[in-house]
Structure 1
Amino acid sequence: MFDLDRFIAECEEAVRGGDGQRAVRELVARAVSEPGAVLRGLGEPKRAGLNTLYRSERLTILNLVWGPYMTLPPHNHGMWAVIGLYTGREDNIFWRRIEEDGASRVEAAGANALSAGEAVPLGKDIIHSVLNPIPRLTGALHVYGGDFFRPGRSEWDAETLRERPYDAERTRALFEASNATR
Protein backbone atom coordinates (compact mmCIF):
# COMPACT_ATOMS: atom_id res chain seq x y z
CA MET A 1 0.00 0.00 0.00
CA PHE A 2 1.16 3.51 -0.76
CA ASP A 3 1.97 5.24 2.52
CA LEU A 4 1.89 9.02 2.02
CA ASP A 5 3.72 9.84 5.26
CA ARG A 6 6.53 7.43 4.39
CA PHE A 7 6.68 8.77 0.81
CA ILE A 8 7.01 12.35 2.11
CA ALA A 9 9.75 11.35 4.57
CA GLU A 10 11.66 9.49 1.85
CA CYS A 11 11.39 12.45 -0.55
CA GLU A 12 12.59 14.83 2.18
CA GLU A 13 15.56 12.56 2.84
CA ALA A 14 16.27 12.36 -0.88
CA VAL A 15 16.47 16.14 -1.35
CA ARG A 16 18.95 16.39 1.51
CA GLY A 17 21.30 14.13 -0.47
CA GLY A 18 23.52 15.07 -3.39
CA ASP A 19 21.28 14.39 -6.42
CA GLY A 20 17.78 15.02 -5.10
CA GLN A 21 15.99 14.86 -8.43
CA ARG A 22 17.45 11.49 -9.37
CA ALA A 23 16.65 10.02 -5.95
CA VAL A 24 13.12 11.46 -6.01
CA ARG A 25 12.58 10.10 -9.51
CA GLU A 26 13.39 6.61 -8.22
CA LEU A 27 10.92 7.07 -5.33
CA VAL A 28 8.15 8.34 -7.62
CA ALA A 29 8.83 5.58 -10.19
CA ARG A 30 8.63 2.96 -7.44
CA ALA A 31 5.37 4.44 -6.11
CA VAL A 32 3.57 4.65 -9.46
CA SER A 33 4.86 1.25 -10.60
CA GLU A 34 1.88 0.00 -8.57
CA PRO A 35 -0.84 2.46 -9.64
CA GLY A 36 -3.53 0.58 -7.70
CA ALA A 37 -1.60 1.02 -4.45
CA VAL A 38 -1.38 4.80 -5.01
CA LEU A 39 -5.11 4.89 -5.82
CA ARG A 40 -5.90 3.07 -2.59
CA GLY A 41 -3.50 5.28 -0.61
CA LEU A 42 -4.73 8.61 -1.96
CA GLY A 43 -8.26 7.60 -2.84
CA GLU A 44 -9.95 7.46 -6.21
CA PRO A 45 -9.90 10.95 -7.80
CA LYS A 46 -13.36 12.52 -7.65
CA ARG A 47 -12.70 15.97 -9.12
CA ALA A 48 -10.01 17.95 -10.88
CA GLY A 49 -7.70 19.82 -8.54
CA LEU A 50 -4.24 20.96 -7.59
CA ASN A 51 -4.00 19.25 -4.22
CA THR A 52 -1.04 20.00 -1.96
CA LEU A 53 0.17 16.92 -0.09
CA TYR A 54 3.34 18.51 1.31
CA ARG A 55 5.05 21.89 1.07
CA SER A 56 8.38 23.20 2.34
CA GLU A 57 11.15 25.44 1.05
CA ARG A 58 12.99 22.40 -0.36
CA LEU A 59 10.12 20.24 -1.56
CA THR A 60 6.51 20.38 -2.76
CA ILE A 61 4.42 17.27 -3.40
CA LEU A 62 1.15 17.68 -5.28
CA ASN A 63 -1.59 15.28 -6.22
CA LEU A 64 -2.66 16.79 -9.53
CA VAL A 65 -5.96 15.54 -10.88
CA TRP A 66 -6.60 16.65 -14.44
CA GLY A 67 -10.21 16.91 -15.62
CA PRO A 68 -11.32 15.15 -18.81
CA TYR A 69 -9.72 16.85 -21.83
CA MET A 70 -8.30 19.56 -19.53
CA THR A 71 -5.41 21.67 -20.83
CA LEU A 72 -2.98 23.79 -18.82
CA PRO A 73 -1.16 26.46 -20.91
CA PRO A 74 2.65 26.68 -21.11
CA HIS A 75 4.34 27.44 -17.79
CA ASN A 76 7.64 26.96 -16.05
CA HIS A 77 8.54 25.82 -12.55
CA GLY A 78 11.99 27.36 -12.09
CA MET A 79 13.00 24.14 -10.28
CA TRP A 80 13.32 20.48 -11.15
CA ALA A 81 10.24 18.29 -11.06
CA VAL A 82 9.30 14.63 -11.24
CA ILE A 83 5.91 13.55 -12.60
CA GLY A 84 4.48 10.09 -11.94
CA LEU A 85 1.07 8.98 -13.21
CA TYR A 86 -1.08 6.61 -11.20
CA THR A 87 -4.22 6.77 -13.36
CA GLY A 88 -5.12 8.10 -16.79
CA ARG A 89 -2.83 9.88 -19.21
CA GLU A 90 -0.89 13.15 -19.29
CA ASP A 91 0.51 14.63 -22.51
CA ASN A 92 3.23 17.25 -22.18
CA ILE A 93 4.24 19.68 -24.90
CA PHE A 94 7.68 21.15 -24.31
CA TRP A 95 8.34 24.73 -25.37
CA ARG A 96 11.41 26.86 -25.97
CA ARG A 97 11.57 30.57 -25.20
CA ILE A 98 12.15 32.97 -28.10
CA GLU A 99 12.44 36.74 -28.14
CA GLU A 100 10.24 38.46 -30.67
CA ASP A 101 9.55 42.19 -30.98
CA GLY A 102 11.06 42.79 -27.54
CA ALA A 103 8.70 40.28 -25.90
CA SER A 104 9.21 36.72 -24.74
CA ARG A 105 7.07 34.07 -26.31
CA VAL A 106 7.40 30.32 -26.80
CA GLU A 107 7.35 27.85 -29.65
CA ALA A 108 6.77 24.09 -29.47
CA ALA A 109 9.95 22.04 -29.19
CA GLY A 110 8.86 18.48 -28.33
CA ALA A 111 6.32 16.29 -26.57
CA ASN A 112 5.94 13.31 -24.27
CA ALA A 113 2.90 11.16 -23.42
CA LEU A 114 2.75 9.55 -19.98
CA SER A 115 0.51 6.68 -18.92
CA ALA A 116 -0.26 5.19 -15.52
CA GLY A 117 2.83 3.58 -14.04
CA GLU A 118 5.31 5.96 -15.70
CA ALA A 119 7.51 8.63 -14.11
CA VAL A 120 9.69 11.28 -15.77
CA PRO A 121 11.99 14.04 -14.57
CA LEU A 122 11.74 17.65 -15.80
CA GLY A 123 14.73 20.00 -15.58
CA LYS A 124 14.53 23.34 -13.79
CA ASP A 125 14.42 25.33 -17.05
CA ILE A 126 11.67 23.28 -18.73
CA ILE A 127 8.60 25.08 -20.06
CA HIS A 128 5.68 22.75 -20.69
CA SER A 129 1.94 22.62 -21.18
CA VAL A 130 -0.21 19.72 -20.06
CA LEU A 131 -3.20 18.00 -21.65
CA ASN A 132 -5.36 15.19 -20.34
CA PRO A 133 -6.42 13.68 -23.70
CA ILE A 134 -8.93 11.17 -22.30
CA PRO A 135 -12.59 11.50 -21.22
CA ARG A 136 -11.96 10.75 -17.53
CA LEU A 137 -9.88 12.08 -14.65
CA THR A 138 -6.10 11.62 -14.68
CA GLY A 139 -4.15 11.47 -11.40
CA ALA A 140 -0.46 12.22 -11.00
CA LEU A 141 2.08 12.74 -8.27
CA HIS A 142 4.12 15.86 -9.02
CA VAL A 143 7.19 16.40 -6.84
CA TYR A 144 9.14 19.67 -7.08
CA GLY A 145 12.60 20.53 -5.79
CA GLY A 146 11.47 23.68 -3.98
CA ASP A 147 8.38 25.67 -3.04
CA PHE A 148 6.12 25.33 -6.08
CA PHE A 149 4.00 28.28 -4.92
CA ARG A 150 6.82 30.80 -4.51
CA PRO A 151 6.67 33.93 -6.69
CA GLY A 152 8.82 34.45 -9.77
CA ARG A 153 7.42 31.83 -12.14
CA SER A 154 6.01 32.51 -15.61
CA GLU A 155 3.19 31.26 -17.76
CA TRP A 156 2.44 31.92 -21.39
CA ASP A 157 -0.94 32.97 -22.78
CA ALA A 158 -2.54 30.00 -24.57
CA GLU A 159 -3.55 32.08 -27.59
CA THR A 160 -0.69 34.58 -28.07
CA LEU A 161 2.06 32.49 -26.41
CA ARG A 162 3.32 35.71 -24.77
CA GLU A 163 4.94 35.50 -21.35
CA ARG A 164 3.24 36.83 -18.22
CA PRO A 165 3.68 36.29 -14.47
CA TYR A 166 2.32 32.96 -13.25
CA ASP A 167 -1.08 33.36 -11.60
CA ALA A 168 -1.96 30.52 -9.21
CA GLU A 169 -5.57 31.70 -9.00
CA ARG A 170 -5.95 31.55 -12.79
CA THR A 171 -4.62 27.97 -12.66
CA ARG A 172 -7.01 27.01 -9.86
CA ALA A 173 -9.86 28.51 -11.92
CA LEU A 174 -8.95 26.19 -14.83
CA PHE A 175 -9.31 23.18 -12.54
CA GLU A 176 -12.67 24.47 -11.24
CA ALA A 177 -13.88 25.16 -14.79
CA SER A 178 -13.01 21.57 -15.66
CA ASN A 179 -15.13 20.37 -12.73
CA ALA A 180 -18.05 22.52 -13.87
CA THR A 181 -18.12 20.86 -17.28
CA ARG A 182 -18.25 17.29 -15.93
Structure 2
Amino acid sequence: MLLAVAIGAAITLGSQSVVGQEAAATDSQNTWAKYQIILQRNIFSRQRGPIRQRDAERARPVVIRNPESYLMLKGIVQEDGTFIAFIEDTQGNKVLRLREGDSAARGVVKNFTLDSIEYQRDDKTVGVALGRDLEGGQGTLPMSRLLELSAASSPVSDPNAATKPSAPSEDEAEILRKLMEQRKQQLGQ
Protein backbone atom coordinates (compact mmCIF):
# COMPACT_ATOMS: atom_id res chain seq x y z
CA MET A 1 0.00 0.00 0.00
CA LEU A 2 2.81 2.31 0.84
CA LEU A 3 4.29 1.50 -2.52
CA ALA A 4 1.04 2.46 -4.31
CA VAL A 5 0.91 5.81 -2.50
CA ALA A 6 4.54 6.51 -3.43
CA ILE A 7 3.88 5.69 -7.11
CA GLY A 8 0.75 7.88 -7.13
CA ALA A 9 2.67 10.78 -5.60
CA ALA A 10 5.45 10.38 -8.18
CA ILE A 11 2.95 10.40 -11.05
CA THR A 12 1.24 13.50 -9.65
CA LEU A 13 4.55 15.33 -9.22
CA GLY A 14 5.68 14.28 -12.72
CA SER A 15 2.50 15.59 -14.34
CA GLN A 16 2.78 18.84 -12.39
CA SER A 17 6.36 19.31 -13.57
CA VAL A 18 5.28 18.82 -17.23
CA VAL A 19 2.44 21.29 -16.76
CA GLY A 20 4.88 23.67 -15.05
CA GLN A 21 7.29 23.42 -18.01
CA GLU A 22 4.49 24.18 -20.49
CA ALA A 23 3.39 27.18 -18.43
CA ALA A 24 6.97 28.46 -18.27
CA ALA A 25 7.34 28.10 -22.06
CA THR A 26 4.07 29.98 -22.62
CA ASP A 27 5.19 32.73 -20.24
CA SER A 28 8.51 33.10 -22.07
CA GLN A 29 6.69 33.30 -25.42
CA ASN A 30 4.38 35.97 -24.04
CA THR A 31 7.38 37.85 -22.67
CA TRP A 32 9.05 37.96 -26.13
CA ALA A 33 5.76 38.88 -27.78
CA LYS A 34 5.84 42.11 -25.80
CA TYR A 35 9.11 43.06 -27.53
CA GLN A 36 8.00 42.21 -31.07
CA ILE A 37 7.44 45.90 -31.83
CA ILE A 38 11.13 46.60 -31.14
CA LEU A 39 12.12 43.98 -33.68
CA GLN A 40 9.83 45.52 -36.27
CA ARG A 41 10.57 49.20 -35.56
CA ASN A 42 14.03 49.37 -34.06
CA ILE A 43 15.12 53.02 -33.93
CA PHE A 44 18.78 52.00 -34.17
CA SER A 45 18.38 49.97 -37.36
CA ARG A 46 19.71 51.40 -40.64
CA GLN A 47 17.00 49.64 -42.61
CA ARG A 48 14.24 51.16 -40.53
CA GLY A 49 11.43 52.58 -42.56
CA PRO A 50 7.69 52.69 -42.67
CA ILE A 51 5.95 49.36 -42.70
CA ARG A 52 4.42 48.75 -46.09
CA GLN A 53 1.72 46.23 -46.62
CA ARG A 54 2.37 44.05 -49.67
CA ASP A 55 -1.36 43.72 -50.28
CA ALA A 56 -1.66 47.47 -50.69
CA GLU A 57 0.56 47.47 -53.79
CA ARG A 58 -1.47 47.46 -56.93
CA ALA A 59 -0.51 45.26 -59.84
CA ARG A 60 0.52 47.14 -62.96
CA PRO A 61 -1.12 45.98 -66.15
CA VAL A 62 1.20 44.25 -68.57
CA VAL A 63 1.19 45.87 -71.99
CA ILE A 64 1.42 43.34 -74.79
CA ARG A 65 2.32 45.00 -78.05
CA ASN A 66 1.03 43.94 -81.42
CA PRO A 67 3.59 42.15 -83.59
CA GLU A 68 3.00 44.81 -86.27
CA SER A 69 4.54 47.46 -84.01
CA TYR A 70 7.93 45.72 -84.25
CA LEU A 71 7.97 45.62 -88.07
CA MET A 72 9.17 48.91 -89.60
CA LEU A 73 9.23 49.80 -93.29
CA LYS A 74 12.81 50.80 -94.08
CA GLY A 75 12.81 50.94 -97.86
CA ILE A 76 11.19 49.94 -101.14
CA VAL A 77 12.91 49.06 -104.42
CA GLN A 78 11.59 48.23 -107.84
CA GLU A 79 13.39 45.34 -109.48
CA ASP A 80 12.33 44.08 -112.93
CA GLY A 81 8.92 45.69 -112.55
CA THR A 82 8.19 44.17 -109.14
CA PHE A 83 8.37 46.03 -105.87
CA ILE A 84 10.28 44.67 -102.87
CA ALA A 85 9.74 46.13 -99.41
CA PHE A 86 12.51 45.98 -96.83
CA ILE A 87 10.91 45.62 -93.42
CA GLU A 88 13.05 45.60 -90.29
CA ASP A 89 12.02 43.29 -87.47
CA THR A 90 13.27 45.36 -84.52
CA GLN A 91 12.51 42.58 -82.07
CA GLY A 92 14.29 39.81 -83.99
CA ASN A 93 17.07 42.04 -85.42
CA LYS A 94 16.55 40.95 -89.02
CA VAL A 95 15.39 42.48 -92.29
CA LEU A 96 12.54 40.92 -94.26
CA ARG A 97 12.23 41.22 -98.04
CA LEU A 98 8.54 41.15 -98.89
CA ARG A 99 6.74 41.26 -102.24
CA GLU A 100 3.10 42.02 -102.93
CA GLY A 101 0.89 39.32 -101.40
CA ASP A 102 3.51 38.13 -98.86
CA SER A 103 2.36 37.72 -95.28
CA ALA A 104 3.91 39.62 -92.39
CA ALA A 105 2.92 39.45 -88.72
CA ARG A 106 -0.87 38.89 -88.82
CA GLY A 107 -1.65 40.34 -92.24
CA VAL A 108 -0.68 40.65 -95.90
CA VAL A 109 1.37 43.29 -97.76
CA LYS A 110 -0.58 44.88 -100.65
CA ASN A 111 -0.19 47.73 -103.19
CA PHE A 112 3.32 49.16 -103.37
CA THR A 113 4.55 52.62 -104.34
CA LEU A 114 8.12 53.88 -104.05
CA ASP A 115 7.44 55.54 -100.69
CA SER A 116 4.67 53.50 -99.07
CA ILE A 117 2.86 50.18 -98.92
CA GLU A 118 -0.58 49.05 -97.85
CA TYR A 119 -0.83 46.47 -95.10
CA GLN A 120 -4.07 44.53 -94.76
CA ARG A 121 -5.04 42.74 -91.57
CA ASP A 122 -8.50 41.20 -91.41
CA ASP A 123 -10.77 43.83 -93.03
CA LYS A 124 -8.59 46.81 -92.12
CA THR A 125 -6.10 48.32 -94.58
CA VAL A 126 -3.36 50.64 -93.30
CA GLY A 127 -1.14 52.87 -95.42
CA VAL A 128 2.44 52.54 -94.19
CA ALA A 129 4.96 55.27 -95.07
CA LEU A 130 8.74 54.85 -94.91
CA GLY A 131 10.05 54.75 -91.35
CA ARG A 132 6.68 53.71 -89.89
CA ASP A 133 5.57 50.40 -88.44
CA LEU A 134 2.91 48.20 -90.02
CA GLU A 135 0.28 49.85 -87.83
CA GLY A 136 1.16 53.20 -89.39
CA GLY A 137 2.68 54.47 -86.15
CA GLN A 138 6.17 55.23 -84.89
CA GLY A 139 6.91 51.66 -83.89
CA THR A 140 8.62 50.30 -80.81
CA LEU A 141 12.26 49.60 -80.17
CA PRO A 142 13.45 46.88 -77.80
CA MET A 143 15.66 47.95 -74.90
CA SER A 144 18.81 46.50 -76.49
CA ARG A 145 18.33 48.72 -79.56
CA LEU A 146 17.68 51.79 -77.38
CA LEU A 147 20.94 51.14 -75.54
CA GLU A 148 22.81 50.85 -78.85
CA LEU A 149 21.33 54.12 -80.05
CA SER A 150 22.10 55.93 -76.82
CA ALA A 151 25.72 54.70 -76.86
CA ALA A 152 26.14 55.66 -80.52
CA SER A 153 24.63 59.11 -80.10
CA SER A 154 26.88 60.20 -77.23
CA PRO A 155 30.36 60.82 -78.68
CA VAL A 156 33.39 61.06 -76.42
CA SER A 157 34.49 64.67 -76.25
CA ASP A 158 37.51 66.50 -74.93
CA PRO A 159 36.65 67.91 -71.49
CA ASN A 160 38.93 70.92 -72.14
CA ALA A 161 37.09 71.88 -75.32
CA ALA A 162 34.52 74.59 -74.76
CA THR A 163 31.60 73.91 -77.07
CA LYS A 164 28.04 75.05 -76.95
CA PRO A 165 25.45 72.31 -76.62
CA SER A 166 23.74 71.98 -79.97
CA ALA A 167 20.15 71.07 -80.62
CA PRO A 168 19.63 67.34 -81.16
CA SER A 169 19.66 66.15 -84.73
CA GLU A 170 16.46 65.03 -86.40
CA ASP A 171 17.19 61.35 -85.67
CA GLU A 172 18.05 62.05 -82.04
CA ALA A 173 14.92 64.13 -81.59
CA GLU A 174 12.86 61.30 -83.07
CA ILE A 175 14.44 58.79 -80.68
CA LEU A 176 13.83 61.06 -77.71
CA ARG A 177 10.20 61.52 -78.72
CA LYS A 178 9.76 57.73 -79.04
CA LEU A 179 11.29 57.20 -75.62
CA MET A 180 8.97 59.79 -74.08
CA GLU A 181 5.91 58.21 -75.75
CA GLN A 182 6.94 54.75 -74.58
CA ARG A 183 7.43 56.02 -71.03
CA LYS A 184 4.00 57.66 -71.07
CA GLN A 185 2.46 54.37 -72.20
CA GLN A 186 4.24 52.52 -69.40
CA LEU A 187 2.93 55.02 -66.86
CA GLY A 188 -0.59 54.73 -68.29
CA GLN A 189 -0.89 58.35 -69.37
TM range (shorter): under 0.3
Q: Which structure has more RCO (C-alpha within 8 Å, separation ≥ 6)? A: 1
Bigger share in helix: 2
Work out which of the two has the higher radius of gyration on C-alpha atoms and give 1 or 2: 2
TM-score of the superposed pair, with normalisation by structure 2: 0.22
